Structure 1
Amino acid sequence: MRQPHGVGDPTFYRSPAHAVAAPAERLAYVAAFDRTATRPDALLTVDVDPGSSSYGRIVGWSDMPTRGDELHHFGWNACSSALAHEGHDMTGLQRRYLLLPGLRSSNIHIFDTHPDPRRPTLARTVHATELAEKAGYSRPHTLHCGPTGIYLSCLGGADGSDGPGGIALLDHDTFDVLGAWETDRGPQHLAYDAWWHLNQNTLVTSEWGTPSMIEDGVVPELLLKSAYGHALHFWDLAEGRHLQRVDLGEHHQMVLELRPSHDPEARWGFAGVVVSTQDLSASVWRWHRDGDIWTADKVITIPAERADPELLPPVLKPFGAVPPLVTDINLTVDDRFLYVSCWGTGELKQYDVSDPSAPREVASVRLGGIVGRATHPALPGQPLAGGPQMVEVSRDGRRVYLTNSLYGSWDDQFYPDDVGAWMAKIDTDPEAGGGLAIDERFFLHGEDFRGLRVHQVRLQGGDSSSDSYCYRC
């Protein structure tokens, strides 16, 4: 692999160690959406510099040009994987633009974070029609900056149809939709996340459901039929060709977030599974290379918690229990700690994964929860709705940022009395072996967001789930 000359962006880190040692983030970008679709969604800028007079406050607000987008996952136009790119003018490529897909509208809004990173400005909108016409996809969900372009996973087929979902490729410079990435999708139909092992020429995808399966909440009949996704797919990254399907078992429903090892020579990663139809537990699986094939093993099981049916939303009353509902996981850049969000029970768990085949829980905190409604120390006595949902970790692994909204219709289904809106920060000390402490100075909630709900966080200069690295040292 050659290293291109003239790459000037200091946030393109050669290795995980370089990323960990880089200066700490001072800003966080947050995707916020209006559940009623009567106002624009927004990209918020939050001050995360503890020494700043505006620490823990929103210092920038950029409205979308449209309504009804439901911003979800978003990301950078370029990152450390740029060091693997060929065929681009690397002298001008920077981690500069944030691409914000609308999960409901299928529009993709591109915001320029220069010259004032606190106040990003709209640079372009890629409309749903272009995504459909050029790639045959809709309902964009997750994007990663990578080799040959920007990879955008999509849940639906053209015009919101039920698929198959897949990956659209966008140009790094113009943001034009280049087409569908797959050349041979094999048995893959459902889509969700996509990430890779760059040096192994392997891309991995996971499965949620088609637009009709998710847009109005969990469909109990489909869940009991094991119709949601329950497999991982492995692909030839360079060719877009399907290589292998690994089924986790049909009762392990909704295989969502993928977190590959940051070590460019590693051949393993973690996948989170929302729920088991056998006992409402959630789980985390480790995929790894075994000889010539890929395989996956369940390494974490999180059981459901018994609860009074009278305290449960209608969808859970028949079960008399709260499922953990693992909706996000995140792996630190040094591959040492794994964070697991249990959105249903309101718990964030921290695992030591120095041995990825045998994770060891070392700490947890609770905020919100369907029944627990655990409070934040900044608001003692005020029960919280929602729970740790999206989790983002700083490059040095010392700061963990949480937001509480999953997806509008699912929020309403599991928190029918209003999921609210909040963003919290947790501190940890890797040298001390972990441990979690809620930052009492940092808690945005309620009217801070002007009635919008908050979903994903991206950190200035990159974070634990934004970059892929090309070199070990």
Structure 2
Amino acid sequence: MMRPDPTFHASPKLAIEAAPENIAYTLLLSPDFSKPDALAVIDVKPGSPTFSQVVHLVTMPNKGDEFHHFGWNACSSVLSPLSGHAFLERRYLIIPGIRSSRIYVVDTKPDPTKAQICKIIEPEEIFKKTGYSRPHTVHCGPDGIYVSTLGGSGPDGTDGPPGIFIMDCETFEVLGRWEIDRGPQTLHYDFWWNLPRDYMVTSEWALPPQFENGLVPEDLLSNKYGHRVHFWDLRARRNIQTIDLGANHQMALEVRPAHDPVREYGFLGVVVDTTNLEGSIWTWWRDGGRFHIEKTATIPAEPAAKDQLPPPLQGFGAVPPLVSDIDLSLDDRFLYVACWGTGEMRQYDVTEPRKPKLAGSVRIGGIARRTPHPNGKVFAGGPQMVEISRDGRRVYWTNSLYSTWDDQFYPAGVPGAEVMAHAGPNGGLELATDYWVTFPDGYRAHQIRLEGGDCSTDSFCYPSA
């Protein structure tokens, strides 16, 4: 008798109660393109003789992909009443090269320590079928694999707007672009949804010429990066509302809806306010059929001496927090905010979603502070991509943002590192002294995925009882 994958859970509460992760998957990139990018398989089982070590490396056959974000072929969204795919497995990792526009499909079964590439989708197929380039975020939906992009067509990705395309979740064939009516949307970054409520939220970063060779300071100071958030009718695939945060709120990046579909709100991280260099968290909600959004938390820039600062910041005499990732625990209680510039991981209690309260903080790395790990090792860069265990007790993060941006803000280099902090049941964060992942020389580390799902992978179709 066929049964759904046991790692699929109808509600967030059931996922929280599931067995803990034993494996973490982390993307590695070669910043100078001197060798192929790779997928690291890491042992995260406490007490294991290889705990916090890379136990397998899937090395790609090409150079210059620039791995960034990735996701599963299927997740708990498959349990949707509207799904025609009840017997898929959470088995394949869909890994886009943000620079090459190539996508790798890696099979993690039957043994993740022997994971291997099973399909490569060349960029020409994506260009031909979608008109998009620079694939970025991957989410598994009830009806296929959704992939957001940062570029349109043409050599520099500026011929037409970027958007989302769909892949078949069994054959991995690229089907076509998702949008029927995009309205005013012209930039793209992240996306996620509330499946039963039938809406999607998308955000904005920049067009490829504004990020591929590094941050363009004059574009930032003239507020030419993304600063809007878009709301979509998921079934009709059309833009129903766009809200401008204000042009000074530059780079509206990660969107994190509440996991329990009864809760019609979510969070957005904004990298920098060009009037004062602060980072911010915004809360959106739906009321009376309309979406609303407001700034609910700010993180100030920190003064620093000129000789502590890289060239792009020397004129400011301060380090902006540079909020580069946020993640929400499965119980919707704690929001984690990665401040890549100041070297801080913040934990907010968001029990009241429009009144976040700072509940914990860990300092590590940072442009000026350069705080070492408790084990004494140097953590270059700052907290960047963050992932939370399903039970909310372990918080993992890496330290690289994007190759050219790393070089601008951390010119001494950002050797790959991954750490983990223990989170208290009622808040509080403490770095685990025994968790430090050493990656092969020459690699930087970006996004993390956890075996069996995590807090930025799964979308749930049923409320928690």
Whether 1:125 aligns to 2:116 is no
Aligned to 1:195: 192
1:454 alignment partner, one of 442, 445, 457:
445
Provide the C-alpha distance between the structure 2 equivalents of 1:429 and 1:119, rounded to a whole number of angstroms.
Answer: 34
Whether 1:78 aligns to 2:69 is no
Provide the C-alpha distance between the structure 2 equivalents of 1:89 and 1:313, rounded to a whole number of angstroms.
Answer: 50
Aligned to 1:292: 289
C-alpha contact 1:300 1:359 (8 A) present in aligned 2: yes
Provide the C-alpha distance between the structure 2 equivalents of 1:168 and 1:213, rounded to a whole number of angstroms.
Answer: 22
What pairs with 1:394-433 in structure 2 (closer than 5 Å)?
394-430=389-425, 433=426
Provide the C-alpha distance between the structure 1 equivalents of 2:456 and 2:78, rounded to a whole number of angstroms.
Answer: 15
Code of the aligned partner of 2:150: L
Provide the C-alpha distance between the structure 1 equivalents of 2:143 and 2:205, rounded to a whole number of angstroms.
Answer: 26
Aligned to 2:92: 97
Unaligned runs of 5+ in 1: none
What pairs with 1:360-371 in structure 2 (closer than 5 Å)?
360-371=357-368
Aligned to 1:45: 41
Provide the C-alpha distance between the structure 2 equivalents of 1:242 and 1:95, rounded to a whole number of angstroms.
Answer: 30
Q: Deviations over 1:412-442 (max 9, x none)?
A: 0000111222100101121xx1111111111
Q: Secondary structure at the match of 1:200?
A: coil
Provide the C-alpha distance between the structure 2 equivalents of 1:7 and 1:388, rounded to a whole number of angstroms.
Answer: 39
Aligned to 2:211: 214
Provide the C-alpha distance between the structure 2 equivalents of 1:289 and 1:222, rounded to a whole number of angstroms.
Answer: 32
Which aligned runs of 4 or more in structure 1 are off by greater than 6 angstroms? Answer: none
Provide the C-alpha distance between the structure 2 equivalents of 1:33 and 1:175, rounded to a whole number of angstroms.
Answer: 23
C-alpha contact 2:83 2:142 (8 A) present in aligned 1: no
1:435 alignment partner, one of 403, 425, 428:
428
Q: For residue 225 of structure 1, report the CA deviation from its aligned partner.
A: 1.3
C-alpha contact 1:393 1:401 (8 A) present in aligned 2: yes
Aligned to 2:383: 388
1:351 alignment partner, one of 339, 348, 357:
348
2:459 alignment partner, one of 453, 468, 473:
468
Provide the C-alpha distance between the structure 1 equivalents of 2:384 and 2:30, rounded to a whole number of angstroms.
Answer: 18
TM-score, length-scaled by structure 2 = 0.98
What pairs with 1:59-78 in structure 2 (closer than 5 Å)?
59-78=55-74
Code of the aligned partner of 1:456: Q
Q: Secondary structure at the match of 2:315?
A: helix
C-alpha contact 1:424 1:443 (8 A) present in aligned 2: yes
What pairs with 1:10-409 in structure 2 (closer than 5 Å)?
10-84=6-80, 86=82, 88-91=84-87, 93-159=88-154, 160-162=156-158, 163-378=160-375, 380=376, 382-409=377-404
Unaligned runs of 5+ in 2: none
Provide the C-alpha distance between the structure 1 equivalents of 2:322 and 2:204, rounded to a whole number of angstroms.
Answer: 15
C-alpha contact 2:84 2:142 (8 A) present in aligned 1: no
Code of the aligned partner of 1:369: G
Provide the C-alpha distance between the structure 1 equivalents of 2:26 and 2:233, rounded to a whole number of angstroms.
Answer: 33
Provide the C-alpha distance between the structure 2 equivalents of 1:197 and 1:46, rounded to a whole number of angstroms.
Answer: 31
Q: For residue 281 of structure 1, report the CA deviation from its aligned partner.
A: 0.2
RMSD: 1.2
Code of the aligned partner of 2:280: S
Q: Secondary structure at the match of 1:66?
A: coil
Q: Secondary structure at the match of 2:113?
A: coil
Q: For residue 161 of structure 1, report the CA deviation from its aligned partner.
A: 1.6
Q: Deviations over 1:252-291 (max 9, x none)?
A: 0000001000011221000000000000000000010121
Q: For residue 84 of structure 1, report the CA deviation from its aligned partner.
A: 1.3
Provide the C-alpha distance between the structure 1 equivalents of 2:424 and 2:43, rounded to a whole number of angstroms.
Answer: 21
Q: Deviations over 1:170-218 (max 9, x none)?
A: 1111111110000011100000001001111101100000111110111
Code of the aligned partner of 2:404: S
Q: For residue 90 of structure 1, report the CA deviation from its aligned partner.
A: 2.5
Q: Deviations over 1:27-68 (max 9, x none)?
A: 000000101112110000000001211001000100112110
C-alpha contact 2:85 2:142 (8 A) present in aligned 1: no
C-alpha contact 1:32 1:454 (8 A) present in aligned 2: yes
Provide the C-alpha distance between the structure 2 equivalents of 1:58 and 1:308, rounded to a whole number of angstroms.
Answer: 38
C-alpha contact 1:288 1:295 (8 A) present in aligned 2: yes
C-alpha contact 1:133 1:158 (8 A) present in aligned 2: no
Provide the C-alpha distance between the structure 1 equivalents of 2:230 and 2:408, rounded to a whole number of angstroms.
Answer: 30
Report how many residues are paired: 462
Provide the C-alpha distance between the structure 2 equivalents of 1:216 and 1:392, rounded to a whole number of angstroms.
Answer: 27
Code of the aligned partner of 1:360: K
Provide the C-alpha distance between the structure 1 equivalents of 2:416 and 2:303, rounded to a whole number of angstroms.
Answer: 26
Code of the aligned partner of 1:246: I
Q: For residue 120 of structure 1, report the CA deviation from its aligned partner.
A: 1.1
Q: For residue 239 of structure 1, report the CA deviation from its aligned partner.
A: 1.5
